[in-house]
Structure formats: C-alpha cells, structure tokens
Amino acid sequence: MRLAAPDMDSLNTEQRRVHDVIAGGPRGRVRGPLALWLHRPLLAEAAQNLGQYCRYGSSLAPRLSEIAILTLVRLWDAELPWYAHKAEALKVGVEPEVIEAIRSSHAPQLKDAAGQAVYRFTMEVSKNRRVSQETYDAALGAVGSNGLVDLVGIIGYYSLVALTVNTFELPLPEGVLPDFPS
C-alpha cells in the first residue's frame, strides 16, 4: 500500500466529523477508498454522498447496478472493489456464470435485455470514452432516462473508486487471494 488511511485515533475535527457521517450511514463503517479519502475530508464527504446515492438511491435495479460495477472494476483490474461487490452481486441475483464471465474478461450470456444493455454500455463507454447511438438507444430503452443517468453516475463513481484503489495499491483483506490473473 502506497498511502495508508489516516490513523483513526488521530483524526482532526473535520476528519472525525466525516468519518462519523460515513460510519453512521448504511455502510456502517469506513474502509477502503473512503478511509483513504479521509486525508481530504471534503473529498471523502463528497465521494461518500455520491457513493451512497449510487449504491442505495439509484433508480437502477440492484442487479443491474452490480453488473455495471463488476464490469467497470474488472476493466480497471481493481481487486478490492471486485472482492467487495462479487458477494453483493450474488445476493441481488447476478448469476455466478455471469460473474465468472466478467472476471475472466468474456462477454457474459445475459438473458435479459436490461442486463445486456447495461453490460454493453459500461464496456463501450469505459473503453471508448463514448457510446454509439445504437448502444445509447438500447440502454435508454432498457433502463429509461433516469436509469441511464444513474448508470453514468455509477460508472463515474466506481471509476474513482478503482482509480484510488489502483493508484494507492489498496490491498485485499488479509487471507483473500486475488481473482484476476497477474
């Protein structure tokens, strides 16, 4: 790890306030990128608000959100958010074979149009930095305008998470082996 999170026993007043806001929310604790962002408490607070919205307030069905998140963090080879979201994806109905296909960098065989559209949109916008009209129209038709705006927000937020994890080399929990080939 290149940079450790601030020592939780030595937080300044602003860091403590933001820490307590995050810990008091649906996450219930402060870890990973959120803990690291506490070096800059206003960034941590802004990212926490966006992340909380993307995770708990999005109009996308949780299954679709998790397909997007897994797809995005796999493109970044970001092991920590992959580890965190793999279990969540299973809980919300993402099929194990879909998770395995994404993990092994293969297009998953999604049976539903919405899942296909979310996967395709996430792949295309992440790789090309834009989407074709065909991909845009398919995603819009599958998830509607609110869902599409939320999908873009999820992709943006988890890009920040992946960038943070990879830049500062945040480790997996002790005893957890990486899922991606080296």
Quote the pLDDT of residue 27. Answer: 85
In the chain, where does the domain assigned CATH 1.20.1290.10 lie?
A: 62-167
State the chain's mean pLDDT as an integer: 96
- pLDDT(182) > 80: no
Q: What is the tens place of the pLDDT at every residue in 103-126? A: 999 999 999 999 999 999 999 999
Q: Which residue is it, tokens 């993307």?
A: 54
Quote the pLDDT of residue 65. Answer: 98
Quote the pLDDT of residue 1. Answer: 86
Band of residue 23 on the pLDDT scale cut at 50, 70, 90: very high
Q: How many CA atoms lie within 13 Å of 56's alpha carbon, on the beta-carbon side?
A: 8
3-class SS string, the chain: CCCCCCCCCCCCHHHHHHHHHHHCCCCCCCCHHHHHHCCCHHHHHHHHHHHHHHHHHCCCCHHHHHHHHHHHHHHCCCHHHHHHHHHHHHHCCCCHHHHHHHHCCCCCCCCCHHHHHHHHHHHHHHHHCCCCHHHHHHHHHHHHHHHHHHHHHHHHHHHHHHHHHHHCCCCCCCCCCCCCCC
Cα–Cα distance for residue pair 163/172, rounded to 1 Å: 15
Q: Mean pLDDT across the stretch 40-59?
A: 95
Quote the pLDDT of residue 26. Answer: 86
Q: What is the tens place of the pLDDT at every residue in 52-93? A: 999 999 999 999 999 999 999 999 999 999 999 999 999 999
Q: What is the tens place of the pLDDT at every residue in 133-145? A: 999 999 999 999 9
Quote the pLDDT of residue 98. Answer: 98
- pLDDT(162) > 90: yes
Q: How far is CA 55 from CA 44, 101, 131, 155, in A?
A: 16, 23, 23, 11
C-alpha torsion 61→65→68→73, nearest 10: -160
Quote the pLDDT of residue 31. Answer: 92
- Percent of the chain scored above 90 by pLDDT? 96
Looking at the domain 62-167, which fold is it? AhpD-like (1.20.1290)
State the pTM of this model.
0.95
